[in-house]
Amino acid sequence: MENKSISDIIEAYLKEILGDSAQVEIRRSEIANQFDVVPSQINYVIKTRFTIQNGYLVKSKRGGGGYIRIERVNLLDDVNVLNSLIQAIGDSVRERDAFDIVRTLYEEDVITRREGDLMLVALSKQALAVNDSKVEDQLRARILVSFLNRLRYES
- To the nearest whole number, what is the mean pLDDT of the chain? 86
* Across 72-76, average pLDDT: 71
What digits encode the pLDDT tens for the residues 23-65? 898 888 889 999 999 988 998 999 888 887 777 888 887 766 6
What digits encode the pLDDT tens for the residues 103-127? 988 887 888 999 999 999 999 999 9
Does the predicted model carry a pTM greater than 0.85?
A: no
Non-local (6+) Cβ contacts of 47 within 8 A are 58
For residue 152, which amino acid is it?
R
Taken in order of first residue, the domains within the chain and their CATH numbers are 6-72 (3.30.56.130), 79-154 (1.10.1200.150)
pLDDT at residue 2 tops 70: no
